[in-house]
Amino acid sequence: MSQIPPLRPEYEIALQPLIDLPLERELSLAQRLWQQGWLRKSLILAVLALLWEVVARLQDNDLLLPSFLQVARALAEGLASGELLEKVAISLSVLVQGYLIGILLAFVLTSLAVSSQLGRDLLSTLTAMFNPLPAIALLPVALLWFGLGEGSLIFVLVHSVLWSLALNTYAGFLGVPETQRMVGRNYGLRGLRFVALILVPAALPSILSGLKIGWAFAWRTLVAAELVFGASSGKGGLGWYIFQNRNELYTDKVFAGLVVVILIGLLVESLVFALLERCTVKRWGMQR
């Protein structure tokens, strides 16, 4: 005969409310400041500038390595005279044209790739052929086809942007879940509307990575190409500014030009791409 287990009496313990304890932990001023990304990055830049100044003073050779203060003075003089601003405007105008054309062509190629087998074969073949080819190696061909001027620069810029962006975008399209694709098809989306309304928002993290890589490649290619075009035609942007001052042994101005290149890269990364990520993928919960 099985025994019935004894019933355990139930009871409830009333807990006292924690009225006296704060709901949020107060952060100190140092902790609040350290949470600011711009402040941490500024601190890193300040440490690098200090190391630069120390190394330059220890070496004591302005021709090989000018100090940070000398470069800052040359940078301020170049900005005050307007020469550096003019060079920056020339470089950025060409860069934006080539960058936008590369984005447009990459979008067309990837749209064809997700729409048909022929488009996929075309994209895979072209990227396998041209992606390993350095953009700077196409300078002689660009000179023959377009001559000296913006046309040649835009040609090499498009090459530097197109393939990396197309590969990242296509990889992002392939990673879109099938359920999202089915939703688009159930709504009757086809062709470009399916790509723009379903694939692009879902693959936006990969697309943004491709845009960043393409920007970096284009910026480096432009400066390198301007060294050649500036030496040939006697004009150009930041690359020509660096090349001309190197020939005249103005090392502080050479470093000032390099600092401008770095600062523009930091500004684009911190303002343009960071703002784009905050307004899209981070706001949508697709990226931490």
Query: Using one digit for the tens of pLDDT, what is the confidence trace for 158-171?
Result: 999 999 899 998 88
Residue 222 confidence class, pLDDT cut points 50, 70, 90: confident
Residue labelled with tokens 């030496």: 231
Lowest mean pLDDT among 15-29, 206-220, 262-276: 15-29
Q: Given this model, what pLDDT does residue 105 score?
A: 93
Handedness of CA 74, 87, 246, 45 (dihedral sign): positive
**pLDDT score, position 50:** 93
Q: Both tokens of residue 219?
A: 């910026």
Query: Nearest 5°: phi and psi at 176?
Result: -70, 130
B/e letters for 54-76, b = 16+ CB within 10 Å, e = fewer, are eebeeeeeeeebbbbebbbebbe
What's the chain's average pLDDT? 84
For residues 253 and 241, give the distance between their C-alpha atoms in angstroms, rounded to a whole number.
8
Q: What is the pLDDT of residues 145-191, one digit of tens each?
A: 887 778 888 899 999 999 989 999 888 888 888 888 888 888 888 77
3-state secondary structure of 194: helix
pTM across the whole model: 0.79
Closest by alpha carbon to 202, among 221, 233, 174, 235? 174
Distance from C-alpha of 63 to C-alpha of 246, rounded to nearest angstrom: 10
For tokens 């807990």, the residue is 15
Lowest-confidence range among 53-57, 66-70, 159-163, 235-239? 235-239
Domain ranges across the chain: 80-284
> By C-alpha distance, which of 93, 98, 78 is closest to 242?
78
State residue 232's pLDDT score.
46
What is the mean predicted confidence (pLDDT) over 223-248? 75
Task: Output the six-digit token pair for 244.
Answer: 């001309």
- For domain 80-284, give the CATH superfamily: MetI-like (1.10.3720.10)
